[in-house]
């Protein structure tokens, strides 16, 4: 009697395990949702239009008479109150003042290089590589008739050449060179430069180009413009305003505004 009871219990246990395994397999393979095979592809679409770039800008206030000299480069980021423009009595004074400033930068650079504790290179291969790279940049700028960033490249090139001269013992120090530069700078400064300065009215990016529309268009006003007003703005010419010394772009975000038909406008709806 006991053997039969044990056999029955064993059979029931096996049946339970088989039913449970079958149920789990059914749950794993069965889905109540209908499925389809999906394929990934990209659709591209274009159309031609005309528009206008709108950005937030602030004019540099103030007009001075004389020769103009910029203290910052085109597109350079500036803080509010940064000196950005100087005016001199004539071109000669402006040129001499700019030259004196370059000489001062070179003097400070040479002093830093030969100062006690400054880096010394036992292996000049990295310096040679950097010198070649900077010369290549100068060649590239020359090939496109551009001077953007040339002052920074010149300073880096001078620094690396001077460091290399020390590393290969071509020079023990630059005292003689510094003395000559100091003398040349003093001769230039004897002209007693008289200048007026203009300062940045806001934080942003400086540009010398002004079209006189800095107060007319902005990101806030853009959304209140009608289609006719926007179309008129697109068709206008924007010549350089020589009476304005420059402006500050207060943000790096630019907006592109255009007039499109209702049909084309539907293509710009979210999800389309």
Q: What is the pLDDT of residue 90?
A: 82
For the segment 248-269, what is each residue's pLDDT rounded down to a tens digit? 999 888 999 888 888 887 777 7
- pLDDT tier, 200 (very low <50, low <70, confident <90, very high otherwise): very high
Determine the pLDDT at residue 248. 93
Distance CA 208, CA 197 (A): 15
Output phi, psi for 149, to 5 deg: 80, 5
pLDDT in tens, 49-76: 889 989 999 988 876 677 888 888 888 8
Is pLDDT at 29 greater than 60 in this prediction? Answer: yes
Q: Which CATH architecture has domain 46-89+196-272?
A: Beta Barrel (2.40)
What does pLDDT average to over the chain?
82
Q: What residue spans define the domains of the chain?
A: 46-89+196-272, 91-193
Q: What is the value of pTM for the model shown?
A: 0.61
Residue that wins the pLDDT comparison between 117 and 173: 173
Question: Residue 80: its pLDDT value, please?
Answer: 94
pLDDT of residue 57: 92
């Amino acid at each position: 009697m006991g053997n039969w009871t044990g056999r029955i219990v064993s059979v029931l246990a096996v049946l339970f395990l088989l039913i449970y395994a079958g149920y789990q397999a059914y749950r794993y393979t069965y889905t109540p949702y209908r499925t389809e095979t999906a394929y990934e592809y990209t659709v591209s679409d274009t159309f031609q239009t005309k528009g206008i770039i709108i950005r937030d800008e602030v004019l540099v206030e103030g007009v001075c008479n004389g020769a103009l000299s910029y203290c910052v480069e085109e597109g350079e980021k500036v803080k509010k109150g940064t000196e950005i423009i100087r005016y001199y009595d004539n071109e000669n004074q402006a040129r001499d003042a700019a030259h004196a400033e370059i000489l001062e930068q070179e003097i400070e650079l040479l002093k830093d290089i030969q100062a006690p504790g400054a880096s010394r290179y036992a292996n000049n291969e990295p310096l040679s590589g950097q010198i070649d790279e900077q010369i290549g940049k100068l060649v590239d700028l020359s090939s496109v008739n551009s001077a953007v960033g040339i002052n920074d490249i010149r300073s880096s090139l001078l620094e690396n050449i001077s460091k290399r001269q020390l590393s290969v013992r071509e020079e023990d120090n630059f005292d003689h060179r510094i003395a000559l530069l100091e003398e040349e700078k003093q001769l230039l400064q004897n002209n007693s430069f008289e200048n007026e300065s203009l300062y940045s009215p806001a934080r942003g990016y400086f540009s010398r180009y002004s079209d006189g529309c800095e107060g007319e268009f902005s990101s806030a006003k853009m959304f209140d413009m009608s289609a006719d007003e926007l179309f008129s703005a697109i068709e206008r010419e924007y010549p350089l305003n020589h009476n304005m010394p420059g402006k500050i772009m207060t943000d790096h975000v630019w907006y592109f505004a255009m007039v499109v038909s209702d049909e084309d406008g539907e293509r710009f709806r979210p999800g389309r």
